[in-house]
Amino acid sequence: MDGYPDRIARLGHTDLDVFGLCLGGNVFGWTINEERSFAVLDAYVGAGGNFIDTADSYGRRGPGGAGESERIIGRWIAARGNREQLVIATKVGSSPELPGLSQATVRKGAEASLARLGIDRIDLHYAHKDDLQTPLEQTLKAFGALIDEGLIGHAAASNYSAQRLDEALRIGQSDGMASYVALQPHYNLIEREAYERELTPLCERHGLACIPYYGLAQGFLTGKYRADAEQVDSPRAAGVRERYFNERGFAVLDALDAIAAEHETAVAAVALAWLRAQPTVLAPIASATSPRQLSELMASAELTLSDAERERLSDASG
C-alpha cells in the first residue's frame, strides 16, 4: 500500500479510521479551480490520505458561491469512484444561505450537502459554529434524527466554548440526542491558549478527537512569510502580517527552521508534527493549492519529533 498505513487511527468513540493529516477543502473553488482541486485530491489519496474536510459555506468567496467546495469534491468522487475509501466531513451553520443550527436548518443543510457531494451519508457532520439563539437540545435532536436515518454517521462540534461544549456533551447523553464525537477548534503552534487552557481537559475527559483547523496559522507556519521577504500573494497576507509579525512569531519560525533543517524536511511538516503530537489531537487540518505543496504537508505524517524538539517549539511559542 502507498502512503503511511501506520498513520491511520480511530476517531474517538466511532468506527472511523482516519489518516493523520486531514485535507482541508476550503481552497477548492476559491483560490484554486476545479482542475487544480482534482490534482490535489488525487495526490492526497495517492499518498495514503482518506480524510477530507469541507463545509456548506466553502466556496462563497469564489465564482461558484457557497457550496462550491462540496460540489467539486462530489464531482471528483464520482469521477474516481472511490467513495468507500474516504471519510468525508462537512459542516452546517455558517453558510450565508443557511445560517444557524435550528432543527430545520440542520436537516436542510445535511440534505443539501449530500446532494452537492453526491453521496448517501456524511461520515462526520459538524455544527460549524455555536448558535446561541437555538437551544442545544434542538440542534442535538436534529443531528440525532439524521444519525438514526443513516444520513450522517456522527455529529461533531466546531468553534464551541468549553462551557457550551460541556453542556452539549451532557445533553447528548439523553435518548434521541446526538453525542458529539469530535471537536474542530482553532489551534496551532502559535494559537494555543484558548484550546489548551479549557478545551484540552474537556476533550480528554470525554474522549473527543481534536481535529484542529488553521494548523499552519493561515500559512504563517509554512515559513513563506518573513520580515524581509517580498509581499506574499495571498488573500490572507494582510491579516497574517498583522497578527503574527512580532517577536514571538519570528522566534517560532527560527525554531521551526532549525528543526526542519535537522530533519531535512519542510517547515510546515514540523509545525504539523508538533500539533499532531499534542494531547487529544488526532489529525490536523491543512489545505494545499498544488500537489507539490501537499507533499510538504504529507511529510508531517511520518515525522516524529523528539521530546526535546517538541519542548523547544513549545518554549518558543509559550
Q: What is the mean pLDDT of residues 49-69?
A: 97
Residue 239 has pLDDT above 90, yes or no: no
Q: Which three cell numbers stand for residue 218?
A: 493561515
Residue 58 among the catalytic residues: yes
Band of the pLDDT at 3, cuts 50, 70, 90? low
Q: Which of 58, 187, 214, 225 is catalytic?
A: 58
pLDDT at 234: 66
The per-residue pLDDT of the chain, averaged, comes to 95
Band of the pLDDT at 4, cuts 50, 70, 90? low
Strands 285-286 and 94-95: unpaired
**What are the backbone dihedrals phi and psi of residue 210, each rounded to the nearest 5 degrees, phi first?**
-95, 125
Residue 277 has pLDDT above 70, yes or no: yes
- Per-residue model confidence as pLDDT tens digits over 137-153: 999 999 999 999 999 99
CATH 3.40.50.620 fits 5-317, yes or no: no
- Per the model's pLDDT, the better-predicted residue between 234 and 303 turns out to be 303
Q: What is the mean pLDDT of residues 101-117?
A: 98
Instruction: State the virtual CA torsion across 223, 227, 233, 235 in degrees, nearest 10.
Output: 90
Residue 238 has pLDDT above 50, yes or no: yes
Residue 230 has pLDDT above 70, yes or no: no
Residue 2 has pLDDT above 60, yes or no: no
pLDDT at 240: 85
What's the Rg (C-alpha) of the chain?
Answer: 19
Nearest Cα to 156, choosing from 29, 278, 55, 71?
55
Point out which residues pair with 124 in neighbouring strands: 89, 154
Q: What is the mean pLDDT of residues 256-282?
A: 98
- Per-residue model confidence as pLDDT tens digits over 168-218: 999 999 999 999 999 999 999 999 999 999 999 999 999 999 999 999 999
- Per-residue model confidence as pLDDT tens digits over 291-306: 999 999 999 999 999 9
Q: What is the mean pLDDT of residues 103-131?
A: 98
Q: What is the mean pLDDT of residues 29-54?
A: 98
pLDDT at 1: 37
pLDDT at 229: 56
Q: How open is the CA angle 16-18-20, to the nearest 5 degrees? A: 150
pLDDT at 283: 98
Please give the C-alpha separations between residue 105 and each of 32, 102, 157, 175, 190, in angstroms, as whole numbers.
Answer: 29, 5, 15, 21, 34
Separation of alpha carbons 26 and 271, rounded Å: 20
Predicted model pTM: 0.95
